[in-house]
């Protein structure tokens, strides 16, 4: 009986150690990760609009370098800034949430500027969504 209790205590300690390690593991900086795919905002949006399942298998959880013209910028001066790129659709675009470490990179941008943005693709809600983004050009 004593051996079973020690075994359970050992399993709990190992589980807590692994959980602590995973929780505190640093996240890769988007600047240090090379992109998997380079595409324009309108082409990316079109792929999702035509066949979302195929686009998910192609782009989901990949680092994408997307280029296009800025249609809107929100959250300047906060830690939750976002840049939306034009896609040719009057209602939808490619929404790029700027990584908090790279917020200062959007201070000089304005609507209409042509930019390249690198980020992780998380799929399509109404817009195609890229997270943890950074401005490349």
Is 45 in a helix, a strand, or coil?
helix
Span 109-122, pLDDT tens digits? 889 999 999 999 99
Closest CA to 131 of 92, 83, 72, 75: 83
User: CB–CB of 97/80 below 8 Å?
Assistant: yes
Task: Report if pTM > 0.85.
Answer: no
Please give the domain boundaries of the chain with CATH numbers for all domains.
30-135 (2.40.50.140)
C-alpha angle 113-119-124 in degrees, rounded to nearest 5: 95
CA distance 113 to 70: 6
Going by C-beta distance under 8 Å and a sequence separation of 6 or more, which residues neighbour residue 38?
64, 65, 66, 67
For the chain, 137 residues long, give each residue's pLDDT as a single digit of tens: 788 899 999 999 999 999 988 888 776 677 778 888 999 999 999 999 999 999 999 999 999 999 999 999 987 767 778 999 999 888 899 999 987 777 777 788 889 999 999 999 999 988 999 998 888 87
Residue 28 has what pLDDT?
66
Residue 27 has what pLDDT?
66
């Amino acid at each position: 009986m004593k051996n079973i209790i020690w075994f359970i205590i050992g399993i709990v300690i190992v589980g807590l150690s692994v959980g602590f390690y995973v929780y505190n593991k640093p996240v890769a900086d988007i600047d240090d990760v090379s992109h998997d795919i380079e595409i324009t905002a309108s082409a990316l949006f079109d792929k999702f609009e035509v066949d979302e399942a195929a686009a998910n298998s192609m782009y989901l959880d990949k680092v994408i370098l997307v280029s296009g013209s800025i249609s809107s910028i929100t959250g300047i001066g906060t830690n939750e800034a976002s840049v939306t790129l034009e896609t040719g659709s009057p209602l939808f675009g490619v929404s790029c949430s700027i990584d908090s470490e790279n917020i200062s990179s959007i201070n000089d941008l304005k609507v209409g500027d042509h930019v390249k943005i690198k980020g992780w693709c998380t799929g399509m809600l109404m817009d195609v969504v890229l997270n943890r983004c950074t401005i490349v050009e």
